[in-house]
A = this chain, B = another copy of it.
Amino acid sequence: MFKRSPSLTEQTKAYIKERILNNEFNGGRIPPETELASDMGVSRTTIREALSRLETEGTILRKQGAGTFVNQPGLQIKSRLEEIWSYERVLEAHGYTPTVRVLRVAEEKAGPQLAAELNIAANDSVLVIEKLFLEDDRPVVLACNRIPKQTIVNPYDEAACRLPLYDFVELCCQQDFSYYLSEIIPVLADDTVAGILQIPPHTALFTFEEVGYNAENEPILKASSYFRDDLLRFRLIRRRI
């Protein structure tokens, strides 16, 4: 029934999710794992891994001894904090059709703090790319990214700067972008940020301050992002561990 790639688990997950969205399960009850396995011609392990991923996403609910159930539609989550990868996709998940505006591309010298975070020397050059994500001309996210010049091996142009950051890194730094380590920090909007995001000054915002790492676990960029809370709100499922 399925091909080899992408993984059977991912195909299984997508297939079950589609059946959920089509309301194919009476009363929200999903068939037993053994039944799903024999129906779809895969092992129960594969089914279980697919169901686990759907459970972490909040799509389904499992009760030991009782069964597996579709979660209420109201509880489905649009933007899970851990899964944000590009703001374009986050905005699309919210039903927006985002546009990207590159506000600034410049070179700066790294201050001592930035140098320490990126494991470079103070006063080394960094490339600064400031991007604004808009939905219907309303600014939603302001992102400021700093990448050490020495990691940029290929020439870049205006178009490259418009790309999602991980594409830029793979294209111009020939590095794999592996993960972000993020801090969530509440701040008051200063005049500059308030002006760009078109909100009153001294509004409370939250920001991401994050360092991006490559597959070798070396820091390759620093990103600071500001969000319009009224247009984009993050949700989170917290489970007992």
Q: Check if B180 sits within 8 Å of A237, measured CB to CB.
A: yes
Q: Check if A75 sits within 8 Å of B238, measured CB to CB.
A: no
Among A81-89, A98-106, A135-143, which stretch is in contact with chain B?
A81-89
Partner of A238, one of B63, B84, B187, B236: B84
How many residues does chain A have at the interface if contact means C-beta atoms less than 8 Å apart?
A: 44
Q: Check if A85 sits within 8 Å of B240, measured CB to CB.
A: yes
Q: Check if B238 sits within 8 Å of A185, measured CB to CB.
A: no
One digit per residue, 1 when the CB lies within 8 angstroms of any chain B CB and 0 when it does not, for chain A 85-129 equals: 100000000000000000000000000000000000000000000
Number of copies of this protein chain within its complex: 2
For A63, the chain B residues whose CB sits under 8 A away are 215
Partner of A240, one of B72, B177, B205, B241: B177
For A188, the chain B residues whose CB sits under 8 A away are 188, 202, 204
Q: Check if A83 sits within 8 Å of B179, measured CB to CB.
A: no
| Residue A159 CB within 8 A of the other chain | no
Q: Check if A235 sits within 8 Å of B179, measured CB to CB.
A: no
Tell me, in angstroms, the Cα distance from A241 to B86 when the chains sit together: 11
For A181, the chain B residues whose CB sits under 8 A away are 58, 75, 77, 235-237
Q: How far is the CB of A93 from chain B (nearest CB, A)?
A: 12
Tell me, in angstroms, the Cα distance from A186 to B234 when the chains sit together: 11
Partner of A61, one of B69, B217, B229, B239: B217
Q: Check if B75 sits within 8 Å of A239, measured CB to CB.
A: no
One digit per residue, 1 when the CB lies within 8 angstroms of any chain B CB and 0 when it does not, for chain A 145-175 equals: 0000000000000000000001000000000
One digit per residue, 1 when the CB lies within 8 angstroms of any chain B CB and 0 when it does not, for chain A 202-241 equals: 1011100010010101000000000001000111111111
Q: How far is the CB of A140 from chain B (nearest CB, A)?
A: 15
For the A-B complex with A71-B217, A81-B236, A177-B240 known, give 7 more contacts whose Cβ atoms are closer than 8 Å: A58-B181, A85-B238, A181-B235, A183-B235, A185-B229, A186-B186, A188-B188
B-contacting residues of A (Cβ < 8 Å)? 58, 61, 63, 69, 71-72, 75, 77, 81-85, 166, 177-188, 202, 204-206, 210, 213, 215, 217, 229, 233-241
Q: Which 7 A-B pairs have the closest CB atoms?
A: A186-B204, A186-B206, A180-B238, A204-B204, A182-B236, A179-B239, A186-B186
